[in-house]
Chain A
C-alpha cells in the first residue's frame, strides 16, 4: 500500500461523512414515523405507534399496495420469460445484429423515463386503442424490467458454458429433458435474483407509471406522490415511506445472497 498515512486518514473520514449523508435522511424518515408531533418537530418529544396503526388502516394506501404487488408480479413473470429468451439467443447463437439487440434491451432504462412514459402513453391510446389501466402499467413495467433478468441470466450462461448440456445431449437426453434437468437448475438462482430485482424496479417506478396508469389505478409510489403535499396525510405518508425503506432492504439482501456478488446488483439498474 502506497497511499500515505495522512491521505488514508482523510479518505477514511470522507467515507464516513459520505455514508452519514447517505443514511441520515433515510434514518430521519424512520424515526419520524414514530414522532408524536404531526409536523415532525425535532427533536421528537415522544414516540408513538399511532401513525403505523393508522397507516395499516388507510384504505387508499392498502389498495395502492395491492395494485403495486400485482403489477410487480405479472411484469416480473413477463420479464423473466422475455429476458431469459434474449439471454439464450445472445449467448448461444452468433448472428448479425447481436449488439443492436443488447442495446435494445438496455434502451428502456437508458432513455429518460419521461420519454418512455409519453411514448408508451401515446402508443397505447392512439395506435393500439387500449384504455389506460392495469394492463398498460404491466406492459410498461415489463418493458424496462427485462434488462435485470437479461443481465443476470446472461452472466450465468457465460460462466457455465455449454459442456454440461452437450454431455446431456450425448447421453441421449432430448432438448426438453436437457433444459429441465441441466440448464434450468444451472440458471435457477440467476432467475430468482433477476426476478427479485425486476420486482423491486417495478415496485418503485413512478415516472413511466404516471403516464401509463390512467385515472383508475394507483400504484403505491403514485399514492405517495398524490398525498405528499397534503399536510393532513403527512404522518401516514411518512409511515409508508419508512416501511418502503425497510422492505427495500430485503430484495437487495436476497439477490446478493443468490447471485453471490454485489456488483451484479448495480448492473441491473
Chain B
C-alpha cells in the first residue's frame, strides 16, 4: 500500500490536504460565509426567530441610527490612535535593538519584548485596570503633579490597547532594520549626513513599510476588541461591544453579523491599500 502511495503523489497530496481543508476550508470558511448571509436576513422582533428573507434592514439600521455611526467612527479613531502610538513607541526601541545594542544584549532585549506577548491578554488588561484604578500608579502620578487622573475611559482604553499590541509593532520594525546593512549607514555618514539626516533619508524609508506591516495587527486587533474596553473603558462602547450585546442579551444575530462586517470590510480595504505599498513582503 505504501509503495502505491509513493507512486501517486496526487493521492498523497489529497490525503495530506483533505482533512485540514475540510476543517478550515469547508467548516471554518463555511461558518464565516453563513454569518455574512445571516446579516442579510431579518429577525422577527416578536418571536426572535430569524426569517430567511433577503433584506438590508440590519445595514440600514447600522448606517442610519446615530449611535452606531458614532461607535463605528470612535472605534476606527481608537484603532488609528493606537496604531500611531505603537509606531512612535516601537521605533526607538527597535532601532536601539537592531543598530546600537551588542549581539548578547540584542538577544536579551528580543526575549524581553517577546515575553509579554505571550502573557495572558486578560492579565495584561487587568494589570492596566490596576494602574488606572483609584489609588493606582497612574492616578498617584497625576496627583503628585497636581493633575486629575484620567481614570477609566477612552484614554485608558487607548493606552491599554497600545500596550497590548506593542510587540506586534516592534517585531516587524526590528526585522526591517535588521535587514538594513550597517554599511548603508556608514556610507550615509561618509557622504556627510548627520544622524538626523541619516535617520530621515536612510532608516525611515526602510521602517515605514515595516510600520505599515505592524499596523495590520494593531489596527485589526483593536477593531475587534471588546474586552479591554469593558475592563478599563468605563461606560464607553466600541464596535465589539455592540456585536457582543447583540449576540448575547439582545439576541439579534442578523444585526450582530452586520456590525461584524464593518471590521472585516475596513480590514480588507486596509489590506488592499497596504498591498499597493508593497509592505506585505515585510510581514
Contacts and interface: CB of A to CB of B under 8 A. Distances in A.
Contacts of A39: 135
A83 B12 CA distance: 16
B101 to A, nearest CB: 8
Nearest to B185: A2
B106 to A, nearest CB: 10
A181 interface: no
Interface in B98-146: 99-100, 107, 109-124, 126-131, 133, 135-137, 140
Q: Is the interface of B mostly helix, strand, loop or mixed?
A: helix
Contact of A29 (B127, B226, B267): B127
Interface in B227-242: 227, 231, 240
Q: How large is the interface on B (under 10, 10 to 19, 20 to 34, 35 or more residues)?
A: 35 or more
Q: Is the interface of A mostly helix, strand, loop or mixed?
A: helix
B93 interface: yes
B126 A29 contact: yes
A23 B116 contact: yes
A171 interface: no
Nearest to B187: A2
Contacts of A213: none
A89 B21 CA distance: 11
A24 B127 CA distance: 9
Contact of A127 (B20, B31, B243): B31
Given A115-B224, A118-B247, A262-B111, A82 B264 contact: no
A104 B127 contact: no
A215 to B, nearest CB: 11
B220 A110 contact: yes
Contacts of A176: 2
B131 to A, nearest CB: 5
Interface string B16-51: 110111011101111110110010000000000000
Interface stretch (A53-61, A151-159, A243-251): A243-251
Contacts, number: 266
A89 B17 contact: yes
A114 B175 contact: no
A138 to B, nearest CB: 12
B282 interface: no
B118 A211 contact: no
Contact of B195 (A2, A112, A269): A2
Contacts of B227: 206-207, 225
A63 interface: no
B13 interface: yes
A225 B137 CA distance: 22
A230 B240 CA distance: 23
Contact of A28 (B20, B137, B256, B263): B137
A251 B100 contact: no
B39 to A, nearest CB: 10
Interface stretch (A6-14, A69-77, A182-190): A6-14
Nearest to B128: A25
Interface of A: 1-4, 7-8, 10-12, 14-15, 18-19, 21-26, 28-29, 32, 39-42, 81-83, 85-86, 88-89, 93, 95, 101, 104-105, 107-108, 110-116, 118-123, 126-127, 142-143, 146, 169, 174-176, 197, 200, 203-207, 210-211, 221, 224-225, 228, 237, 241, 244-245, 248-249, 251-252, 256, 262-263, 265-266, 269
5 contacts: A23-B116, A32-B130, A112-B225, A228-B126, A266-B114
Given A28-B137, A200-B118, 4 more contacts: A11-B96, A107-B28, A119-B35, A206-B227
